[in-house]
Copies of this chain bind each other. A is one copy, B any other.
Amino acid sequence: MRKKKKVNAAILIIGNEILSGRTQDKNIAFLSNWLNLNCGISVSEVRIIPDVENIIVKNIRSLSKKFNYVFTTGGIGPTHDDITAKSISKAFKVKYKYHKEAYKILENYYGKKKFNDGRKKMAKMPAIAKLIYNPSSAAPGFITKNVLSLPGVPSILNSMIENCKKYLVKGLKVYSKTINLYTVESNISKQLEIIQKRYKKFVDIGSYPFFRLGKIGVSIVSRSTSKINLVKVHNDLIKVIKNKKIKILNI
């Protein structure tokens, strides 16, 4: 068996509605969790950009070079502001044209009479694209080189995600352990730094303040592709916390 490597991805959210604050994004957290858990792929960067062709083209070009995969969300519907497929065609200098199978799927779904121009548009893709099937509303996503394009509506995106799997090379999964404490960050910052330095190459330790029921707390999150090192860090953290007599809320 070939040894697994680290595999990364970027998410490119295309849509004025997210950028303007009108719509709260839900796809970033879903995609990031799903990719790590199911494919061992880590999301290394996210960008949110407007529905503007030259901006989409530039971002597709730079992100697809920099990361193993790019996931785009949004802009693949039937209206004038849905320009993701056209822009990706331009980014990779390939034709933007009807995908035969996508055309058939959509014609079947709507029926010949109701298959109007807007709906036909959803079958237009980069000439080299392969389909990502959509079990909930027919209109397929597609993959162009290492760029996977999904819709922006979270429930539809979620229903399609399993169909991305066959296109993805699996990498090393990142495991994590969380310790929630009732304390303030600065009470343990020194000790955290010492432990982080000790396991510098193997484990990332993050510290995140929270407020719950009027009390201040800290979540210490350790993340690693190595389960053994993760357990070592966890044990070191527990030792420090017990020495400091800090109350552990949960682990």
In the assembled complex, A113 has its CB within 8 A of some CB on chain B: no
Report chain B residues within 8 Å CB of A180.
none
Report chain B residues within 8 Å CB of A223.
16, 20
In the assembled complex, A28 has its CB within 8 A of some CB on chain B: yes
State whether B118 touches A80 (Cβ < 8 A).
no
A residues 91-123 in Cβ contact with B at 8 Å: 116-119, 121
Closest to A209 in B: B153
Stretch in contact with the other chain, from A41-49, A127-135, A142-150, A242-250? A41-49
CB distance from A183 to the nearest CB of B (A): 12
Report chain B residues within 8 Å CB of A152.
208
In the assembled complex, A228 has its CB within 8 A of some CB on chain B: no
Q: A28-B48, A192-B80 are in contact. Are A186 and B119 (CB under 8 A)?
A: yes
State whether A21 touches B17 (Cβ < 8 A).
no
Chain A interfacial positions (CB closer than 8 Å to B): 13, 15-26, 28-33, 36, 42-51, 77-81, 116-119, 121, 152-153, 155, 174, 176, 185-190, 192-193, 196, 204-211, 221, 223
